[in-house]
Structure 1
Amino acid sequence: MKFYSKPRRTPTIILVALIDILVVLLIFFMVTTTFIRQPAVQITLPKSKTGKEVKREQGLVLTVSPDGKMFLNAQPVAADQLVERLRAARIQNPNVVVEMRADQKTTLDLIITVVDAANQAGIQIINTFTRSGTAPQ
């Protein structure tokens, strides 16, 4: 006795549904992705007439708030720990660059403390951030 089976259709992939799913996934990942942001410390950068646009280095960002608080890559750091943290960063990367973001109301004393800490750690290059515009006379 011979059994006959129904002829089977070859399976196909429905591309329209696949494209819909991929678009939904793409939108989901774009919306949920966290972007690199600067620390949430509110500072007002000083203005400079002669400031230059510099290429952003992959280095350390040291933010100094007007009340004297310091943040190294968005992590709070005390003034007495700054040299050790910079030395540790220099051991990991001998060519590390410190980019300083200081509020325009930050005292010169605090900025000199930061520069001295970088020099003690053996880091010579310090980029400072300013806003473009007319500097106060």
Structure 2
Amino acid sequence: MNFRPRHRDEPEINLIPFIDVLLVVLIFLMLSTTYSKFTELQLTLPVADAEQQRNRPKEIIVAVAADGRYAINKAALADTSVTALTQGLSALAQSQPDSVLIISADATAPHQAVISVMEAARRAGLAQITFATQATGKARR
């Protein structure tokens, strides 16, 4: 008979996997942080995985703010009607034929505000329309 006291191994808490998980969470949070740029209107652009396109000399940029305000080539419009947008776009379309209209709408802008810009572009005779987006973390270099 063996009456000697047995030595029990005390439980050991291994902190290395815990530290690894915290490091992965920290890296994820650092990479998913966004940095905003200041513009004429405060915009949060939708995200797409498109490569940066070259600058076109004949482009008209219409910015749509989250509250539905418009700016054409960084000039804010006082009126938010389709008629005012059409007048502003028509003047630029006549001076710059074959222009590309770039709609730079806030991600939280009302859908109707973007549709109004597209309707004004149709009335002004602008056939080439594209949307501005900001690059995702993968596309940024």
Partner of 2:117: 114
Specify the code of the residue in structure 2 equivalent to 1:56.
Answer: N
Q: 1:107 to 1:88 in 2, by over 3 A?
A: same
- Normalised by the size of structure 2, how large is the TM-score? 0.61
Q: Give aligned-pair identity as a percent.
A: 24
Structure 1 unmatched runs, 5+: 1-37
Structure 1 residue 39 displacement after superposition: 4.2
Distance (whole Å) between structure 1 residues aligned to residue 118 and residue 53 of structure 2: 19
1:61 CA displacement: 1.2
Q: How far off is 1:117 after superposition?
A: 0.6
Gaps of 5+ in 2: 1-37
Alpha-carbon distance between aligned partners in 1 of 2:88 and 2:112, rounded to the nearest angstrom:
20
Q: For 1:89-100, what aligned pairs fall within 5 Å after superposition? A: 89-100=92-103
Instruction: Tell me how large the CA RMSD over aligned residues is.
Output: 1.8
How far did residue 103 of structure 1 move? 0.4
1:43 aligns with 2:46: no
One-letter code aligned to 2:130:
N
Q: Is the 8 A contact 1:39 1:73 kept in 2?
A: no
SS at match of 2:84: helix
For 2:108 and 2:74, locate their aligned partners in 1 and report how far apart those are by CA, in whole Å.
20
Cα deviation code 1:24-58 (max 9, x no counterpart): xxxxxxxxxxxxxx842111101124x34222222
Pairs within 5 Å for 1:1-137:
39-49=39-49, 51-58=50-57, 59-77=59-77, 78=79, 79=81, 80-133=83-136
- Cα deviation, residue 68, structure 1: 0.5
Could you tell me how far apart the structure 1 residues matched to 2:51 and 2:128 are?
A: 15
Normalised TM-score (structure 1): 0.63
Mapped to 1, the partners of 2:85 and 2:43 lie a distance apart of: 20
Alignment length (residue pairs): 96
SS at structure 2 position matched to 1:100? strand
Contact 1:60–1:96 (CA<8 Å) still a contact in 2?
A: yes
